[in-house]
Amino acid sequence: MNWQHRAIAVAGLMAAAAWPAWGAGNLDFLPSRAELLQPAPNKAWDKFSTAVDAHGVYPIADGVYLFMYRGTNSLFMVTDDGVIATDPIRVPVAPIYLDAIRSVTDKPVKYLIYSHWHWDHVEGGQTFRDAGAKILSHEACIPHFTDRPNPKVAMPDETFSGSHTVTLGNRSLELIYLGTNHSDCLVFMRPDGVNGLFIVDLVTPGSVGGTLFLDYVPHHWVRTLKAIEAMNLDYIISGHGVPLAHPTAVGERRRYLEALLGAVGTAYEAGLSRAETTAAVEAQLKPFGYMRGFDANLSGQITRLQIYYGTGW
Ligand SMILES: [Zn+2]
CATH number, domain of 163, equals 3.60.15.10
Report how far residue 217's alpha carbon sits from residue 183's, in angstroms, rounded to the nearest whole number. Answer: 8
Question: How high does pLDDT run on average in the chain?
Answer: 92
**What's the pLDDT score for residue 54?**
85
Q: Is 272 helix (H, G, I), strand (E, B) or coil?
A: coil
Report how far residue 98's alpha carbon sits from residue 6's, in angstroms, rounded to the nearest whole number. Answer: 22
Asked whether residue 136 is assigned to any structural domain, the reply reads: yes
User: How far is the centre of ligand 1, averaged over its atoms, from the C-alpha of 117 (Å)?
Assistant: 7
- CA 168 remoteness from chain centre: 23
Q: Is 274 helix (H, G, I), strand (E, B) or coil?
A: helix
Q: How many residues does the chain have?
A: 313
Q: Which domain holds residue 159?
A: 34-311
Asked whether residue 298 is assigned to any structural domain, the reply reads: yes
Domain count, the chain: 1
Which residues contact residue 64 at a Cβ distance below 8 angstroms, ignoring those fewer than 6 apart?
A: 75, 76, 77, 78, 191, 194
User: How far is the centre of ligand 1, averaged over its atoms, from the C-alpha of 170 (Å)?
Assistant: 30
The model's confidence at residue 52, banded by pLDDT at 50, 70 and 90, is low
Asked whether residue 257 is assigned to any structural domain, the reply reads: yes
Q: How many helices (H) and strands (E) does the chain have?
A: 10, 13
Q: Which of 231, 268, 269, 275 is nearest to 251 (CA)?
A: 231
Residue 5 pLDDT exceeds 60: no
| Residues having C-beta closer than 5 Å to ion ligand 1 | 118, 201
User: How far is the centre of ligand 1, averaged over its atoms, from the C-alpha of 38 (Å)?
Assistant: 26
User: How far is the centre of ligand 1, averaged over its atoms, from the C-alpha of 65 (Å)?
Assistant: 21
Residue 294 pLDDT exceeds 70: yes
The model's confidence at residue 46, banded by pLDDT at 50, 70 and 90, is very high
User: How far is the centre of ligand 1, averaged over its atoms, from the C-alpha of 112 (Å)?
Assistant: 17
User: How far is the centre of ligand 1, averaged over its atoms, from the C-alpha of 285 (Å)?
Assistant: 25
Report how far residue 248's alpha carbon sits from residue 253's, in angstroms, rounded to the nearest whole number. Answer: 9
Whether the Cβ atoms of residue 61 and residue 44 lie closer than 8 Å to each other: no
Strand spans (E) along the chain? 55-61, 64-69, 72-79, 82-86, 109-113, 134-138, 158-160, 164-168, 171-177, 187-191, 196-199, 235-238, 244-245
- Considering only the C-alpha atoms of the chain, give the largest distance between any 2 of them, rounded to a whole number of Å: 62
Whether the Cβ atoms of residue 65 and residue 76 lie closer than 8 Å to each other: yes
Beta bridge partners of 61: 64
**What's the pLDDT score for residue 24?**
67
Tell me the average pLDDT across 67-87. 97
Asked whether residue 24 is assigned to any structural domain, the reply reads: no
User: How far is the centre of ligand 1, averaged over its atoms, from the C-alpha of 182 (Å)?
Assistant: 6
- Reported as a single tens digit per residue, the pLDDT across 199-246 is 999 999 999 999 999 999 999 999 999 999 999 999 999 999 999 999
Asked whether residue 127 is assigned to any structural domain, the reply reads: yes
Report how far residue 146's alpha carbon sits from residue 309's, in angstroms, rounded to the nearest whole number. Answer: 30
- Reported as a single tens digit per residue, the pLDDT across 121-170 is 999 999 999 999 999 999 999 999 999 999 999 999 999 999 999 999 99
Mind spelling out the 3-state secondary structure of 209-261?
A: CCCCCCCECHHHHHHHHHHHHCCCCCEEEECECCCEECCHHHHHHHHHHHHHH
Asked whether residue 22 is assigned to any structural domain, the reply reads: no
Whether the Cβ atoms of residue 240 and residue 72 lie closer than 8 Å to each other: yes
User: How far is the centre of ligand 1, averaged over its atoms, from the C-alpha of 253 (Å)?
Assistant: 16
Residue 23 phi, psi dihedral angles, 5° rounding: 55, -150
What percent of the chain has pLDDT above 90?
A: 88
Tell me the average pLDDT across 94-98. 95
**What's the pLDDT score for residue 11?**
41
Asked whether residue 8 is assigned to any structural domain, the reply reads: no
- CA 152 remoteness from chain centre: 19
Asked whether residue 10 is assigned to any structural domain, the reply reads: no
Residue 17 pLDDT exceeds 60: no
Four-CA torsion 304, 306, 308, 310, nearest 10 degrees: -150
The model's confidence at residue 7, banded by pLDDT at 50, 70 and 90, is very low
The model's confidence at residue 15, banded by pLDDT at 50, 70 and 90, is very low
The overall pTM is greater than 0.95 = no
User: How far is the centre of ligand 1, averaged over its atoms, from the C-alpha of 124 (Å)?
Assistant: 15
Beta bridge partners of 196: 235
Tell me the average pLDDT across 32-47. 96
